[in-house]
Structure 1
Amino acid sequence: MTTSSALSAPIGLTVQQGIATLTLNRPEARNAISDEMRSLLIDYLEQVTSDNDIKALIVTGAGKGFCAGGDIKGMQARMNAPAGSVAFNGWKRQQRVHHAVSLLHNLPKPTIAAVNGAATGLGCDMALSCDFIIASQNASFAMSYIARGLIPDGGGLYFLPRRVGLSKAKELIFSGRTVAPEEAQHIGMIDRIAAPDDLLAAAQDWAEQLSAGSATALALSKSILNSTFELTQNQISAMGSQAQGICYTSSEHQASVAAFLARKAERS
């Protein structure tokens, strides 16, 4: 079954064989994130999180670009605001950005960024916040905040060092330079490269493979793995013990054990 949001909306959502595809849909602006898109993104991510029929999520862009980052018109509006409200307005916007990124990063299902074109600034952050990144041969990546006199504010300060190491993350953030897919894969910034025409099909196939197992075990494993670098081994083990207790009671585990015992009985 395939469902679709309004095609004219700045973000579209489709579901095919249990895999949701969220498409940033402002190709005329290279899918730069506007305030409207940020709100829609939060709504759709909450919907995907709560829908048990959706097993995984793919994030991609319409047109030639993946996401050009924050909307320049929004930046102009912030600069033209009264001086006394600039900082607080910026803080409120940051809360929305961080909420959206947190929803994507902590989604209890596999997430794949299918990067079809340039992913710059916030667009690069969004890709990095997914579990996996598959990039078109036409894609590129840039932590371009430095060119606007800004720091990465969409999670890049957290996600990038975990993928490429601290020194390389500093080099990419300090320079803001563009990284081609081949280099991005070599340094661990992305996971796979696909031909442009094969990108979404490859992402769909990968998402189906990643989400074929127990949804309960997957969600619990992901929640623990996302904390691995911040916690001690004992803390991770304790979280694992609690999660395993939940898995013992899950319908997936019980069905798997019953099927195994039935096969064993047939062979004996």
Structure 2
Amino acid sequence: MSVHANEAGSLVESSVDAGVLTLTLNSPRDGNALNVAMTEALSNVLEQVNDRRDVHCVLLRSSSRHFCTGGNVKDMQSGSDLMSGGVEEVRDRLLRSLHRITRALNGLDVPSVCAVNGAAVGAGCDLALMCDIRVASTKAVFAESFLRLGLVSGIGGSWFLARIVGYAKALELTLTSEFIDAEAALGIGIVSKLVPQEALDTEARSLAKHIARNPPTALRMAKRLVREAADASLPTTLDMAASMQAILLCGREHKEAVDRFLEQQAAKKRAHV
């Protein structure tokens, strides 16, 4: 097992094991609020992932009872952190700071898995939505709660939400700001799997490691193909698929995978003789 020490500071703990980069939000006193410091700590690691050949999957989780409670309401009241200054200054800070997470997560070449425990609300809900796959504990709750505070999703969550649950449901969740439990989140596709709270880390890590075992070049291409196909025409998708497949068919990973498959099949036959 290869494990590397923390690379992101105390707010975001970082380690690599079996090709899985685990990023742990670690600011329990404020519910892992997405303030400037948390944003920078998380973005600094995420922006390096695509150049790391030791990382085949990212697992995003929390060390505390909540995944992420979004913006800090006390900071909003005092006008500090992300909210300080005039309109132009706040807009520029959102674009340069908070949106780094959005761009980095959406731009990951490798798949991302999110383990959601407790509350994922406001920008915290959006953070979970930016990941490719979400596994949640049965105690998780989700909310696009911005209108409760007279706000909209400033981190781009509406783009992800509509693609995951559809236009009408995205509007319902946004305009009601209602909290939905884990069962409801599973029913509308926000999460892929529910597990007991005590099993969340084990299940999420198992899924991430299963994904990370795939041939790394093919893994990155497979994610990109599905992501691009969501917004592309069929002819464009077919052209992309043909190009990727040709590269992979002529590559080392494919040949090694075929050899392994045939060896495993032969071993199974010998075992039944």
What is the TM-score normalised by the length of structure 1? 0.89
Question: For residues 176 and 117 of structure 2, what CA distance do their matches in structure 1 show?
Answer: 23
Moved more, 117-126 or 240-249: 240-249
CA deviation after TM superposition for structure 1 residue 46, in Å: 2.4
For structure 1, which segment, 215-224 or 253-262, has the greater mean C-alpha deviation from structure 2 after superposition?
Answer: 253-262
Aligned pairs (5 A) from 1:1-268: 1-5=2-6, 9-72=10-73, 74-75=75-76, 76-77=79-80, 80-81=84-85, 83=86, 86-259=87-260
Matching residue's letter, 1:5 = N
Cα separation, partners in 2 of 1:107 and 1:172, compared to 1, 3 Å: same
RMSD: 2.4
Deviation at 1:228, TM superposition (A): 2.1
Cα deviation, 1:73-115, whole Å, max 9, x if unaligned, reads 554125552x4xx324323323432332122123122211100
In 1, are the aligned partners of 2:126 and 2:157 still within 8 Å (CA)? Answer: yes
Comparing 205-214 and 172-181, the one that deviates more: 205-214
Change (3 A) 1:7 1:211: closer
Distance in 2 (CA, whole Å) between partners of 1:257 and 1:51 is 26
Q: Check the 8 A contact 2:22/2:58 in 1, yes or no.
A: yes
**Which amino acid letter does the alignment assign opposite residue 30 of structure 2?**
A
SS at match of 1:2: coil
DSSP 3-state at the match of 1:227: helix
Distance in 2, Cα, partners of 1:244 & 1:97: 36
Which digits, 9 at most, give the CA deviation of each residue in 1:56-84, with x for residues without a partner? 11111121110011234554125552x4x
TM-score by structure 2 length?
Answer: 0.88
Change in 2 beyond 3 A, CA 1:264/1:62: closer
71-80 or 162-171, larger mean C-alpha shift: 71-80
* Structure 1 unpaired stretches of 5+: none
The one-letter code sitting in structure 1 at the alignment partner of 2:51 is S
- 1:202–1:233 distance in 2 versus 1, CA, 3 Å: same
Q: Which sections of structure 2, spanning at least 5 residues, go unmatched?
A: none
Q: Relative to structure 1, is the Cα distance of residues 79 and 97 closer, same or farther in structure 2, using a 3 angstrom cutoff?
A: closer
State the alpha-carbon separation in 2 of the partners of residues 177 and 254 from structure 1: 51
Tell me by how many angstroms 1:176 deviates.
0.8
CA distance in 2, matches of 1:195, 1:188: 18
Distance 2:178 2:264 in 1: 56
- The answer to whether the Cα contact below 8 Å between 2:135 and 2:200 also exists between their aligned partners in 1 is yes
Instruction: Name the count of aligned residue pairs.
Output: 264
Q: Deviations over 1:226-257 (max 9, x none)?
A: 12232110111111122223213432113234
Percent identity over the alignment is 31
Q: Matched residue of 2:33: which SS?
A: coil
